[in-house]
Amino acid sequence: MIPEYLLRALLASIMVSVLLGMLSPLINAKGLAFLTHALFHALLFGAVLGMIFGLLFENLSLVMLIALLVTVTIVLLIAHLEKLGFSPDSAVGIVASFVAGLTVLGFGVLYKVMATRPYFPLGESIVSYLTGDIFLISLDNLTVLVLGGTVLFFVMLFLYRDFLYLSFDPDGMESYGGNVRAYLMILYVLVGAIGALIVQTVGLITLQVVAVLPGAIALMVSSDMRKVLGVSLLLTLGIQLSSVILAYVTDIPPSGLATIMLGVIYGVLLFRR
């Protein structure tokens, strides 16, 4: 009989695979890899802020909600800076530098709050947030992941063709009456929301890799976007499920295994060129 925690981990992996498998080609096609770097800082700052409020209000379920709100706010700020004329790299660099500073200050406040509260294994929670521990996902967190992921999946599915036009021919899209800025902001929000939703399962440290490499590998295999999407989905699903099963057998963190497997596949394809 399959242990309940393993079943929850497998179900979470399927949801994560669908979201990342669809999102990764868009990240690569639009050149948003650097945005995921800002996402790293945003999620960490959101998590620290969420832990502070969670301790103050004795409700650590606030961590995910606050991380989501902070991340979406930050990616919208980046999109607004681009609208003002900053290049994508400059906008990300400006925002990421401020957020990094706020994160360091946030850790200082967090330690002070922890000193005034009864003991709670928050250090272990921070490590779990950074490295990901899909085996610890609770039924409530799985429910949030599935429901939130389903909503994001259908939004992405409904707008996927528009996002592709945005990536490859933004001028043509605008000439046909499409609002390029609006679609760009929606795409940024999707990247931030999906990152906040799955970060506790894949880990903050490895999030950028698992978000970028599946799409990059798929684009190396084919230039047909339908095939690219199919390869990205199948690859992500295979890697996520394999890493969970291997982690169950070896007691090695699944996020680390998934990153190594993706890196090996990407390296092999790169050297075969």
Stronger pLDDT, 204 or 18, i.e. the higher one: 18
Band of pLDDT at residue 255, cut at 50, 70 and 90 = confident
* C-beta atoms surrounding 209 within 10 Å: 19
For the chain, what are the domain ranges?
Answer: 4-272
CB proximity list for 70: less than 8 A, separation 6 or greater: 42, 43, 45, 46, 49, 50
* Residue 131: exposure state from Cβ atoms within 10 A (0-12, 13-18, ≥19): middle
- Give per-residue pLDDT as tens, 57-104: 777 677 778 888 888 888 888 888 877 888 877 888 888 888 888 888
Give the span between the Cα atoms of 195 and 193, in whole angstroms.
5
Report the alpha-carbon distance of residue 20 to residue 1 in Å, rounded: 29
208, 209, 231: which is closest to 218 by C-alpha? 231
pLDDT value of position 133: 75
Report the pLDDT value the prediction gives residue 230, as an integer from 0 to 100: 93
pLDDT at 136: 79
Average pLDDT value for residue range 9-13:
91
State the pLDDT confidence band at 113, using cuts at 50, 70 and 90. Answer: confident
Q: Which among 27-36, 58-67, 135-144, 213-222 has the top mean pLDDT?
A: 213-222
Instruction: Share the mean pLDDT of the chain.
Output: 84
Among candidate residues 51, 106, 80, 64, the one with its CA nearest the CA of residue 189: 80
CATH superfamily for domain 4-272: ABC transporter involved in vitamin B12 uptake, BtuC (1.10.3470.10)
Q: Cα torsion for 253, 70, 195, 266, to the nearest 10°?
A: -80
Query: How far is it, in rounded angstroms, from Cα 177 to Cα 192?
Result: 26
Residue 21 exposed, middle or buried by CB count within 10 Å (0-12, 13-18, 19+): buried
Query: What local confidence, expressed as pLDDT, does residue 62 receive?
Result: 76
Give dist(CA 90, CA 81) in Å, integer.
9
For 231-254, write each residue's pLDDT tens digit: 999 999 999 999 999 988 887 888
Indicate if the pLDDT at residue 19 is higher than 90.
yes
- pLDDT tier at 265 (50, 70, 90 boundaries)? very high
CA-based end-to-end distance of the chain:
45
Whose CA is closest to 244, among 257, 234, 232, 229?
A: 257
Average of pLDDT values for 256-272?
89
Give residue 122's pLDDT.
58
pLDDT digits (tens, 9 = 90+) for 116-164: 766 555 555 666 677 777 887 888 888 988 999 999 999 999 999 988 8
| Rounded-to-integer distance, Cα 204 and Cα 125, Å | 12
Query: Looking at residue 23, what is its pLDDT?
Result: 92
Name the band, by pLDDT with cuts 50, 70 and 90, for residue 56: confident
